[in-house]
Chains A and B, each alone.
Chain A
Amino acid sequence: MADLVLDGLTKSFGETEVVHGIDLSVAENEFVVLVGPSGCGKSTTLRMVAGLEAITGGELRIGGRRVNERSPGERDVAMVFQNYALYPHLTVAQNIAFGLRRKRLPRAERNAAVQEIARLLQIEPLLDRRPRALSGGQRQRVAMGRAIIRDPQVFLFDEPLSNLDARLRVQMRLEIKRLHAAKPVTTLYVTHDQTEAMTMADRVVVMNAGRIEQVGPPLEIYRNPRTRFVAEFIGAPAVNLFDARLSAGAGDGLWIELADGTRLSVPGSRRAAYAGFAGRPVVFGLRPEDISIGSGDDPVAPVNMIEPMGVETLAYLGFGGTEACARLTGGHVPRRGDRVPLQLGLERMILIDPATDRVIGATSTET
């Protein structure tokens, strides 16, 4: 086991720099997820850690040792690929045992190790089959078995669940998490799926256009996004954003004026942070779960569309000059065409400076 440090890693293909200086340290046994849209450099970053891409600049340290110049095999990392990359002509048992070749174990010991991994992953009945005869989920388990058995310093996952169907994805997500709890290893996991990132990570790294936007525990990223990109990327359904103006009222009062003329009072706890932006255009953000059905004197909005999800209902409301999504739970569910009063959880609002796309007053905890 070891920690993993990415110190200003950059990657250029020819003249084009695609990864612009990634600084990240993954503590021993920590599960860190790199998440971002396709083309954001997350896979390239992972492949640099694996040694499959040459590092253009910066330093990569595993367990305190610089490994930039080491070949993938010398880095003592194991990797699980999106398409599993199982050796097609080897059986499941041989695939899993492949990583043990170097250790020159006696046959009995090697078989015992394979059996143990197979039991852990519940693939014992499959050991004599070839990858071709396995389902996607089974192949994924074999690929993980091949990685786990090596007992590596660092575990790398490159979108391992992307080729699975939705149900299996949820199941494997949980199993990987369970596996990590049972056998903790320093892990770097790449995905484009923010749900995967939120559910699995000790810490989430949101990447965009070759840069890290924000690093933090999932709930902190969710609650306190530092940029517009993070706010929009994390959370499903996405955060509601409204073009607005901040204006100073009587005393130290601050008002958010939406495009449709709605005026919302900024809660007292936020006034100090926002005061400097009075009189300026801003982007006002509120998560769907922070909009609920209110009572008498709350602002009223028409219900454009309803999506019942079972435990909750998504309501699309004409509000703030655009459409807002509200996540309604429990009792009264409005119908399409209703006009409902809205209660807004403004103490959890965010405000974005449209000039910089940064969230105003976000506390920068770490980079």
Chain B
Amino acid sequence: MIARAARRRTATPPPAGGGPVPARPLPWLLPVLLFVGLFYLWPIVDALRLAFTDASLLDRDAAFSTEAIGAMLGSPALGTVLRNTAIFTLGSVVGQILLGLAIALLVVRGERNGLRGMLVMRTLVLAAWVIPGIANGIIWQMLFSEAPFGAINSALRLAGLPPVAWLSDPGNAMMSAIIATVWQGTAYSMILLYAALRSIDDTLYEAAAVDAATPWERFRFITLPELRGALLVNAILIVIMTLNTFDVIISLTGGGPGRATEVLALFTYNTVFYNFDLAGGSVLSILLMAISLALAALVAAFLPRAGRR
């Protein structure tokens, strides 16, 4: 047995980067296939099935119907919700990347110059990310509160500025939701970009310094191109995470005022758990998945390929 295996190994060299391929790979793959199938694939298939029914949360006896698809895609609210989702996602993603990059640059620069407290700074920023979304929404609700004790408005008053209707004004509510999301999500971008920044060869900056490059040129000709891969991966991940955000919003504004901050994920949640429309919710979640996939594919198209960077 052993001798035979050894002979086979010498006859066909193992593929690079791994051991010999077992003759029957399926049993070895079975656990992960089961796991992925049960927890990832099956829910998607089931949502797809439900989308073609008239299922509701109260009535489990569902019959085939395309009514839910028509109703949801034709819903007058959907346009507003999609627009909200686009603004929310764009604002949050851009904000998280820019702020994350800025903090990562600061931390790396601080470390390079031996500034103390950089580890504390990194930990503090990361702490925001560890907070659950619901809690984050509640924290920002208190900060944005328009009551006399609202933290931000109190500070504005101390500075002699008029208070801002952070959550009650439909025009401001989206901005407030984006601020809360950016505050929480920045840590993720910061850590990812920090790691990428740390891996840039220091001598590139030294060569640039000797070549009299300005800080902007160093950023433009070294940092940015070297970060390209990390920025794109980061963008894909946080676009998907942000598209699926509803916890911060539900605890901060509940989607209001009106539908001013109702994004697709929240709209889906409301459809299922307030309107008990399971079929409609399934249609919306398939739509959400399709949008996520499309955006991810778009960003992935710009990813540097191996060997061509």
Chain A residues with CB under 8 Å of chain B are: 50-52, 71-74, 77-79, 81, 83, 85-90, 98-99, 101-102, 132, 146, 150, 156
Contact = CB atoms under 8 A, between A and B. Distances in A.
A72 B209 contact: yes
30 contacts: A50-B210, A52-B206, A71-B209, A72-B209, A73-B209, A73-B211, A73-B213, A74-B212, A77-B210, A78-B210, A79-B206, A79-B210, A81-B203, A81-B207, A83-B201, A85-B203, A87-B221, A87-B222, A88-B204, A88-B226, A89-B225, A89-B228, A90-B221, A98-B221, A101-B217, A102-B212, A132-B309, A146-B211, A150-B211, A156-B210
Contact of A52 (B209, B212, B226): B209
Contact of A98 (B201, B206, B211, B228): B211
Interface of B: 201, 203-204, 206-213, 217, 221-222, 225-226, 228, 309
Given A73-B213, A81-B207, A156-B210, 18 more contacts: A52-B210, A72-B209, A74-B212, A78-B211, A79-B210, A81-B203, A85-B203, A85-B207, A86-B207, A87-B204, A87-B222, A87-B225, A88-B204, A88-B226, A89-B309, A90-B221, A102-B212, A146-B211
B58 to A, nearest CB: 59
A167 B29 CA distance: 50
Contacts of A102: 212
Given A81-B203, A88-B309, A132-B309, A73 B210 contact: yes
Nearest to A152: B210
B212 to A, nearest CB: 3
A83 B208 CA distance: 14
Nearest to B202: A85
Contact of A85 (B206, B213, B225, B309): B206
A198 B204 CA distance: 30
Nearest to A77: B210
Contacts of B222: 87
Contacts of B217: 101
Contacts of B221: 87, 90, 98
Contacts of B209: 51-52, 71-73
A33 to B, nearest CB: 20
Given A87-B222, A89-B225, A90-B221, A73 B204 contact: no
B203 A72 contact: no
Contacts of A71: 209, 212
A51 B211 contact: no
A81 B203 CA distance: 8
Among B207, B209, B309, chain A packs the most CB atoms within 10 A around the CB of: B207
Contacts of A72: 206, 209-210, 212
Nearest to B204: A85
Among B211, B225, B309, chain A packs the most CB atoms within 10 A around the CB of: B211
A333 B210 CA distance: 53
A73 B225 contact: no
Contacts of A98: 211, 213, 221
A144 to B, nearest CB: 12
A187 to B, nearest CB: 15
Nearest to A75: B210
Contacts of B210: 50-52, 72-73, 77-79, 156
Contact of B211 (A83, A88, A99, A156): A99
A117 to B, nearest CB: 15
Contacts of B208: 87
Contacts of A87: 204, 207-208, 221-222, 225
A155 to B, nearest CB: 11
Given A88-B225, A101-B217, A132-B309, A73 B207 contact: no
A79 B205 CA distance: 12
Among B204, B206, B226, B309, chain A packs the most CB atoms within 10 A around the CB of: B206
Given A85-B207, A88-B226, A90-B221, A73 B212 contact: yes
Contacts of A90: 221
Contacts of B207: 79, 81, 85-87, 146
A85 B209 CA distance: 12
Nearest to B213: A73
B229 to A, nearest CB: 11
Contacts of B206: 50, 52, 72, 79, 81, 85
A86 B212 CA distance: 15
A175 B139 CA distance: 67
A72 B203 CA distance: 13
Nearest to B214: A73
